């Protein structure tokens, strides 16, 4: 009987250890590696390719969403289950669109998590019926710096990065081959979406978002 190989990616060691125990309690499942950030995960895949990855969304150096995009580009059939503390509709929808197999909250019970792993291993998906918009006590809300980036379009994220690097609108326009008016319009939309008033406040928030 073929055994299912799993890699766990989570920067919270105690949670990762508990997750490993849950996987080991399942028949024919093996944890072949544990890593604590997205870059380590990509490096691990150079030497060991699992059947499934259980990964956090918000990890250092390379977050789970970006790591998953890279992994699915290299291994389109890879089964990825996000296990996150973010109960967020935008993240769940992005996970579905990129081809992830599941998105599970970290506060689920062990039987629910086991069922999700087993279902995904059979080729099914494991997504919540609907991500709750309400703030769960002890869990991040939609104003969490990590989640804020998902309110912005790819172009707005590009402009935000250039603002963070100290570029003025004219410089940004030249770099992105846009008009200054278009850049200024994007900047206004970024300020509105992130609810900031000044460039200094925006830059400070951008640094918090990238941590």
- Give the C-alpha separation, 147 to 144, whole Å: 5
CB 8 within 8 A of CB 33: yes
User: What are phi and psi for residue 61, nearest 5 degrees?
Assistant: 70, -55
CB 8 within 8 A of CB 19: yes
Residue 10: Cβ-neighbour burial (10 angstroms; 0-12, 13-18, 19+):
buried
What token pair was written down for 131?
């991500």
Per-residue pLDDT of the chain (211 residues; tens, 9 = 90+): 689 999 999 988 888 999 999 999 998 999 999 999 889 999 999 999 999 999 998 888 888 888 999 999 999 999 999 998 877 777 888 898 899 999 998 888 899 999 999 999 999 999 987 544 443 444 344 556 666 766 777 788 888 889 988 899 999 999 989 899 999 998 998 888 888 888 888 888 887 776 5
């Amino acid at each position: 009987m073929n055994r299912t190989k799993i890699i766990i990616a989570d920067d919270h060691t105690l949670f990762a250890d508990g997750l490993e125990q849950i996987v080991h309690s399942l028949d024919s499942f093996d944890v072949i590696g544990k890593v604590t950030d997205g870059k380590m995960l990509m490096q691990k895949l150079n030497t060991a390719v699992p059947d499934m990855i259980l990964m956090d969304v918000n990890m250092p150096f390379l977050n789970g969403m970006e790591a998953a995009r890279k992994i699915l580009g290299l291994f389109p059939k890879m089964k990825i289950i996000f296990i996150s503390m973010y109960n967020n509709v935008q993240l769940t929808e992005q996970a579905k669109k990129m081809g992830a197999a599941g998105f599970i909250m970290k506060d689920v019970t062990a039987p629910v998590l086991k069922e999700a792993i087993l279902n995904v291993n059979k080729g099914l998906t494991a997504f919540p019926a609907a991500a709750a918009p309400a703030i769960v006590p002890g869990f991040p809300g939609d104003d969490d710096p990590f989640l804020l980036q998902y309110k912005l379009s790819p172009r707005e994220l590009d402009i935000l990065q250039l603002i963070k690097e100290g570029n003025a609108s004219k410089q940004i326009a030249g770099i992105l081959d846009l008009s200054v008016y278009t850049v200024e319009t994007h900047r206004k939309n970024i300020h509105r979406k992130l609810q900031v008033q000044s460039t200094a406040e925006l830059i400070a928030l951008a640094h918090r978002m990238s941590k």
